[in-house]
Structure 1
Amino acid sequence: MQKAFSKLKLKSKGSNIPDAAPAVDSGKEPSIAQIYQSRLNYGVNFGSSFVLEKWIFHDLFAETGGDTELDAVSSLVAKNGVNDTRSKFENHWNNFVTSEDWSWLADNQVTSIRLPIGYWHVDGGSFTSGFKFEKFKQVYSNAWTIIKQKYVEVALQNKISVIIDIHGLPGGANNAGHSGESGSGDFWSDEKAQVSMAKMMGWIANDLKSYENIAGIQVDNEAGFANPAKKQETYYAACISEIRKNNKQVPVIISDGWWPDQWVKWVQDEQGDDGYIGVVIDDHVYRCFSDADKAKSPQQIIDDLNGDVLTNLTDNGSGADLMVGEWSCVLDTQSWEKAGGSNRDDEVKKYGQTQCKLFNERACGSYFWTFKFQSGNGGEWDFKTMTDKGAIQPFSRPTKKPSDDQFQQALGNAYNGHVDYWKKQDPNGKYQPELYKDGFSIGWKDADSFAKFNGSRIGRKEALKRARLQEEISSKGSSKYDWEWSQGYDEGVKQFYNASI
């Protein structure tokens, strides 16, 4: 009976997903918080800052042969007690990122960090009841305060946003140890856990709503592939509903389960033509794990990126924004064995730069895995090392404000090109090219507004475009030619950057 009740409760939380507030307020320039939520992000993960991974930071695993955080904390508590273990963990959290690190990140134009945490870190461990970390909640009593004071607030001082990524769920969203517990993705069969985590997401949204640099709340990490994904759909809906009770604006980030189009369709279906649920779909891009990639040479993997990164999306992904929450410059040894006589550093550089270019074109942000390692550097997993080698680089930022004459010229050229194209395609057709002109002007204006804040660029373009189109419809009414307005918006954003970079 308990299981049936939990499932019923979970579904009730997720029924009729509420709309989010528009990504930008009608008739107004975006606020600073809205820019943090919607700008294009060049980011990095703080891997093993909170959810420990032995291969990245190994000190806290000294007393165990296990690889998960649960192994580490249980062994340390058994040997040294709660107080000593808490001190060791807090020392790690407090010193993971130094003031010099933050300065380096800002100097290298990093705009955002993705912070992987576990459910056990939230609110002094108050959401661990009935789960494996409950007996260790005292170790984590100050974790949430440290997250806010040493990460969110310091990031804000450096004009860097933070994604709160719930990397560790009870039982794990997948069967890997990086979820903090060794398991087999048991989370998806535990409705009690899903109800508890949905409530936790609402609590997080409420507790962080005063911080303007929260770029999103991620409700799971690397969900296992599922088709159909009914359990994931129900959980995502419940999380969105709980978050929206407390924060109408913050982006909600969901894992794509290694199939982005599955969730593009879901977002499109849930939103309909004129709704907006404020969801970002997280895709991870690694080319070093699958047998298919191991069978390819580095050159072939690089050549294939254009055709297989965020492609083949329903209706070109209309209405859905995607991010790349994890990626690296790592290729498997078997791939390097097929490299012929090519220079490895050259190929790594080409691989990283190609990924950066595609992510900036197709995603609203990308986050390299990972920032730092306890011992030495992580080579092609290491953000600083790859930066120094020139394999990864930030996107170009607007550096000059286009003049009114440049705007008028760009608008005229784009408008005339649009009109001429449709005259040739459909000489007898009747269109509303003035809608295209309106969309172009709004897109240009939004891009200019973002640029005023530290040279930011628009990232969640689908979210902004949907907000502005609804604003247009509210003012002038709907038209079957609203697609012209949308095309104009896209072109306005594009031409602003052509003129300002």
Structure 2
Amino acid sequence: MSFKAYLALFLAFLVIQVRAWMPGEHQEIYSVNGKDLFNKSQTDGDSKRWLPGTPKIRGVNLGSLFVMEPWMASAEWNSMSCGAWPSEFDCVMHLGQGQANQAFQKHWNSWITQGDITQMVNYGLNTIRIPLGYWLLETIVYANSEHFPQGAFPYLERIVGWASDAGMYIILDVHGAPGAQQPQQPFTGQYAPSAGFYQGHQYDRAKEFVGWLSEVVHTRGAFRNVGMIELVNEPIQNTGATPGLLDNYYPNAYAEIRAREAKLGISSNNLLHIQAMNTLWGSGDPHSHLTSDWFMAYDDHRYTKWDSSVPVDKGAYIRDACHNNRLSNTDYQKSNWPTIVGEFSLSVPDFVQWNGDWHPDGNKAFYTQWFSAQIIAYERDTNGWIFWSWKTQLGDYRWGYQDAVAQGVIPNNPQNINWGTCNGV
């Protein structure tokens, strides 16, 4: 074997033998040739899939990139000639596959740029969560009855490559599941009249998708900083309405990913984290039917906007943020750990959000304080946080991290929040 061939084989081996730890879990990691991989981000074989950087995940969601949500990107949606339709499925069905593919590929090419990734890093963020639809794997789409844009994978590969080059940690999230995990929710990719996900053949398709994703992560260099795959985003908050989710889909999807990793020869400390919505979400305890929880992780979404138990009062919002320990129950903490707050925002209930006492223009000091209180609690109680979302077209910084920094509401580095916000509250 020539030296070049040997070197190529050795580097390919190293690409696979990288760790999928979460931020902060280790301070020194060495490759098989003894090279220190700490905080590495190069594209060569000594790269990593985990980011030590800071002790907590601090990140943003790339909302409306690969799963469009018209409510938060209406100008973009209209420019794609989709404005009359409520979801990707509906738009593709009415535009036709060819025209839709062109429109969506233009969107994927421009919604999040390499400049955005650079700006995130400059703002002290170390993580991105990327919502995906199962239709990214085009072979499992029912061609005669399902209508989704095609050709997204190269754009996903490009953006994870940019993020890996920048040293960011990456979570891939199944935001749109086969059949739709919630009715009439564009974040599933379709405005389905009912949730069709909770049946065996749909679980099988989702299992195939996450298994394929895991192989992609372990075998393609651009994905080297992907350390986690989330099995499904925000299932229905009623265990009676989600038959098979806990005892079929979660354990079988977990087993599928692990089987594919085993086939690739991935060692136990280099496996991906596999994430599910936590017990607090309301769809049951995802841990309840697992036979193994090695490198499991859990997702907690905290939107005070829709929490009727918190009085609609600024002081109450700060107190709740400071004292609402998301892991206060010891048994729950043991089974749903590690947890990340994968979505939260600064938005308040619809009926007050544009009132004088809550309007974003005249209450920036409050929103800065509320952001700080949430960050303090999430970093105290969990493994970190991921804001929804990086970018919107709402003209409302309460949903957009980039806009909130521009408005001076969120500091240009989360390390610079007022860490004493909860003192005496």
TM (norm. structure 2) is 0.75
Deviations 1:368-387 (A, max 9, x none): 111112x4743211101222
In the alignment, is residue 195 of structure 1 matched against residue 194 of structure 2?
A: no
Closer/same/farther in 2, CA of residues 302 and 292 from structure 1, 3 Å limit: same
Q: Residues of 2 paired with 1:341 and 1:201: CA distance?
A: 41
Q: Residues of 1 paired with 2:101 and 2:363: CA distance?
A: 43
Partner of 2:264: none
In the alignment, is residue 97 of structure 1 matched against residue 97 of structure 2?
A: no
Q: Residues of 2 paired with 1:156 and 1:327: CA distance?
A: 24
In the alignment, is residue 42 of structure 1 matched against residue 50 of structure 2?
A: no
Q: Residues of 1 paired with 2:411 and 2:196: CA distance?
A: 35
Amino acid at match of 1:30: I
Higher helix share: 1
Partner of 2:255: 241
Deviations 1:49-105 (A, max 9, x none): 11111122233453452221112222221xxxx333212111110111223212211
Amino acid at match of 1:159: G
Partner of 2:192: 183
Q: Residues of 1 paired with 2:82 and 2:245: CA distance?
A: 36
Q: Residues of 2 paired with 1:327 and 1:131: CA distance?
A: 37
Partner of 1:232: 245
In the alignment, is residue 73 of structure 1 matched against residue 92 of structure 2?
A: yes
Closer/same/farther in 2, CA of residues 338 and 304 from structure 1, 3 Å limit: farther
Q: Residues of 2 paired with 1:23 and 1:365: CA distance?
A: 14
Given that residues 20 and 273 in structure 2 are in contact (C-alpha distance below 8 angstroms), is that contact kept between their aligned partners in structure 1? no
> 1:209 aligns to what SS in structure 2?
helix
Closer/same/farther in 2, CA of residues 203 and 301 from structure 1, 3 Å limit: same
> What does 1:356-367 align with in structure 2 at a 5 Å threshold?
356-367=375-386
Amino acid at match of 1:353: S
Partner of 2:176: 168
Partner of 2:281: 259
Amino acid at match of 1:160: M
Amino acid at match of 1:278: F
Cα distance, 1:365 vs. partner?
2.7
Amino acid at match of 2:251: A
Q: Residues of 2 paired with 1:187 and 1:131: CA distance?
A: 17
Partner of 2:224: 212
Given that residues 72 and 394 in structure 2 are in contact (C-alpha distance below 8 angstroms), is that contact kept between their aligned partners in structure 1? no
Q: Residues of 1 paired with 2:255 and 2:172: CA distance?
A: 17
Q: Which has the larger radius of gyration?
A: 1
Closer/same/farther in 2, CA of residues 238 and 268 from structure 1, 3 Å limit: closer
In the alignment, is residue 326 of structure 1 matched against residue 343 of structure 2?
A: yes
Given that residues 239 and 283 in structure 2 are in contact (C-alpha distance below 8 angstroms), is that contact kept between their aligned partners in structure 1? no
Q: Gapped runs of 5+ residues in structure 2?
A: 1-18, 31-36, 38-47, 262-267, 417-425
Cα distance, 1:395 vs. partner?
4.9
Q: Residues of 2 paired with 1:196 and 1:341: CA distance?
A: 44
Cα distance, 1:48 vs. partner?
0.6
Cα distance, 1:30 vs. partner?
3.4
Closer/same/farther in 2, CA of residues 184 and 84 from structure 1, 3 Å limit: closer
Partner of 1:497: none
Amino acid at match of 1:199: E
Alignment size in residue pairs: 357
Cα distance, 1:108 vs. partner?
0.8
Q: Residues of 2 paired with 1:226 and 1:158: CA distance?
A: 40
Q: Residues of 2 paired with 1:163 and 1:117: CA distance?
A: 10
Cα distance, 1:129 vs. partner?
2.7
Amino acid at match of 2:108: W
Q: Residues of 1 paired with 2:98 and 2:71: CA distance?
A: 25
TM (norm. structure 1) is 0.64
> 2:58 aligns to what SS in structure 1?
strand
Given that residues 27 and 52 in structure 2 are in contact (C-alpha distance below 8 angstroms), is that contact kept between their aligned partners in structure 1? no
In the alignment, is residue 346 of structure 1 matched against residue 354 of structure 2?
A: no
Given that residues 343 and 388 in structure 2 are in contact (C-alpha distance below 8 angstroms), is that contact kept between their aligned partners in structure 1? yes
Cα distance, 1:254 vs. partner?
0.8
Given that residues 391 and 403 in structure 2 are in contact (C-alpha distance below 8 angstroms), is that contact kept between their aligned partners in structure 1? no
Given that residues 240 and 252 in structure 1 are in contact (C-alpha distance below 8 angstroms), is that contact kept between their aligned partners in structure 2? yes
Partner of 2:98: 83
Partner of 1:298: 314
Q: Gapped runs of 5+ residues in structure 1?
A: 1-20, 398-501
> 2:141 aligns to what SS in structure 1?
coil
Q: Residues of 1 paired with 2:169 and 2:359: CA distance?
A: 42
Closer/same/farther in 2, CA of residues 185 and 387 from structure 1, 3 Å limit: farther
Closer/same/farther in 2, CA of residues 54 and 23 from structure 1, 3 Å limit: closer
> 2:179 aligns to what SS in structure 1?
coil
Partner of 1:426: none
Match of 2:68 among 52, 66, 70: 52
